[in-house]
Chain A
Amino acid sequence: MDRLVDLLPELWAATAETLYVVSLSLIFGGIAGLFVGLALYATRPGSLFPHRFLFGTINVIVNFFRPIPFVILLAAVQPIARSLGIPGIGPEFGIFAITIASLFAISRIVEQNLLTVRPGVIEAARATGASRSRILLRLLPREALGPLILGYTFIVVALVDMTAIAGAVAAGGLGEFAIVYGFKQFNPWVTWAAVLVIIVIVQAVQFLGNALARRVLRR
């Protein structure tokens, strides 16, 4: 308990680091995943820009990366990060690895949520003279916004999880704090303090996401 009080500054620093890694990963992975998801949706057979080869290629790439357990992916992308000039440990490496992992998960979530928009709605828009790219980039994301927000909320929770795992290989944040000061020094109080902070973060994100989605869905 006393040890925990001594470690409070480190706990807050670790919390700030987790929030930093999660938010930057969300921005990079979220935007990249949105575009890959739009591409998956648009190029599938019978969609707005059907392209068998492109769809097949993106689909295989996504299916290749998505099932890799994150802790293994983390090790696997380290050489790539180094070759790009990103250090192999620390928060920046965490952001790099999490962006790659979340990109593929997010692209599937985006694709699936866009698929919930009825084809008749797209046909109605085309019948008004709207261009296919206008429908893809402006109408569809808006029509699927409610489920998209819930999907992204789900992903943020997964990002917090991934950040903690990345912490285990010295990428900073609450994961590293819990492992280094709690687990390795046999101090459950410290570990549970990290758990508590993570619960608060996850609850806050989930509350915000639900509230936003409710507003968009008007229910």
Chain B
Amino acid sequence: MTLIHLTGVTKTFPPSTKESPPVTAVDDVSLDVAAGEVCGIIGYSGAGKSTVLRLVNALETPTTGTVEIDGRDITRLPERALRELRGDIGMIFQQFNLFDSRTVAKNVAYPLEVARRPRAEIAARVDELLRFVGLADKAHSYPEQLSGGQKQRVGIARALATNPRILLADEATSALDPDTTQEVLALLKRINKELGVTILVITHEMDVVRTLADRVVVMEDGRIIEAGAVFDVLSSPQHAATRRFVASIIEDVPAGDQLRALSSRHPGRIVTFTIRDGDVAQADVFAALSSHGVRFELVHGGINDIGGRVFGHLTLALTGEADAVQQAIEAASAFASLIEEDPRG
């Protein structure tokens, strides 16, 4: 069942100065997110990811196109109806955006106060939420007394207060250290699995996509350039911009200075094989190289595990007679796709 449905959505912002042209932040985007799914939106900053997120809870209204939540077109709803809708959509932020004048408990209570719930119900719900995110002992603390990870957990509890069906996460772990990122990701995973909340997450971090998302959408210059299952998009990106972006977050294919450094340290030809679960038999690659009497050294590489399937890249320095090396490479190419860049280029 489709919960979030964007059709041909364009968002144009008026120019910031009189001379500059208007900015098209989102350009003809169509996107479906199923109930219970975790959908990741990745892309460089300025790609329009944040605007897409804000179109879903109507903090931005589209210039053209429609946004439907659970089959209801929210594009032309009056403000009062939008406020009600936002009770069904929680949002968390990179900078947490907690209310500094309120205690942890009062921060979590805020959406319930806005929804005019009775006081006793608010107290009970806040209690329950703080236990869920593991901050029951911090109820009376103020945000400035918390660590980054604790602040984000308060943000999550606040976003979940009204039992929303959708959670929007705007770079929710980008300001956190790696350990804390894992904690928060585990919490988000639980929210998806145990509470059945549909999550739309913007990120430029590999960990978030790998551990959380079921599906990933790649954006560039306001457009969706690629979409699919996380493993497929990351292991064999189709679009050049996606390849560039994936390479920047995975960093297992040497390029530029790194490649030049490798080639100066290691004699012979440097080639990279792409390994992909199901398609590639690693053993056959090595067997093909050996059978041509070529010696090889593993000089760089990485293997990524996404939901039990692996892909990655292995960079080898091949030494031997030039003809033999060429033949070995051709033979191995039958088993795995090959990347060879001129280190001087």
Contacts and interface: CB of A to CB of B under 8 A. Distances in A.
Contact of A123 (B97, B114, B142): B97
Contacts of A129: 83-87, 111, 114-115, 162
Interface string B165-207: 0001000000000000000000000000000000000000000
Interface string A91-126: 000000000000000000000000000101101111
Contacts of B100: 121, 143
A175 B95 CA distance: 51
A139 B98 CA distance: 12
B101 interface: yes
Contacts of B159: 127
Contact of B83 (A118, A123, A131): A131
A124 B115 contact: no
Contact of A130 (B57, B97, B102, B114): B114
Contacts of B168: 127
Contacts of B95: 118, 120
Interface size class of A (residues with CB under 8 A): 10 to 19
B101 to A, nearest CB: 5
Interface string B79-120: 100011111011101010111111000000011001100000
Interface string A194-219: 00000000000000000000001010
B86 A126 contact: yes
Contacts of A82: none
Nearest to A117: B100
Given A124-B91, A128-B86, A129-B87, A143 B101 contact: yes
B85 to A, nearest CB: 8
A132 to B, nearest CB: 8
B101 A126 contact: no
A130 B59 contact: no
B49 interface: no
A24 interface: no
Contacts of B144: 218
Interface of A is mostly: helix
Nearest to A124: B97
B158 interface: yes
Contacts of A127: 57, 59, 86, 89-91, 159, 168
Interface string A135-164: 000010011010000000000000000000
Contacts of A216: 101
A127 B91 CA distance: 6
B314 to A, nearest CB: 43
Pick from A125, A128, A142 the residue with the most CB of B within 10 Å. Answer: A128
Contacts of A142: 101-102
B114 A128 contact: yes
Contacts of A121: 97-100
Nearest to A130: B114
Nearest to A216: B101
A142 B113 CA distance: 15
A40 B142 CA distance: 30
Contacts of A128: 86-87, 110-111, 114, 158, 161-162
Contacts of A120: 93, 95, 97
Nearest to A142: B101
B53 to A, nearest CB: 10
Contacts of A218: 142, 144
Contacts of A123: 59, 93, 97
B86 A134 contact: no
B15 to A, nearest CB: 13
Contacts of B91: 124, 127
B174 to A, nearest CB: 13
A218 to B, nearest CB: 6
Interface in B276-314: none
Contacts of A139: 99
10 contacts: A118-B95, A121-B99, A123-B93, A124-B158, A125-B99, A129-B85, A129-B114, A130-B111, A216-B101, A218-B144
Interface of B: 57, 59, 79, 83-87, 89-91, 93, 95, 97-102, 110-111, 114-115, 142, 144, 155, 158-159, 161-162, 168
Given A125-B99, A127-B90, A128-B161, 13 more contacts: A118-B97, A121-B98, A121-B99, A124-B97, A127-B86, A128-B114, A128-B162, A129-B114, A130-B110, A131-B79, A142-B102, A143-B100, A143-B101
Interface of A: 118, 120-121, 123-131, 134, 139, 142-143, 145, 216, 218
5 tightest CB-CB pairs across the interface, nearest first? Answer: A128-B111, A124-B97, A129-B86, A127-B91, A120-B97
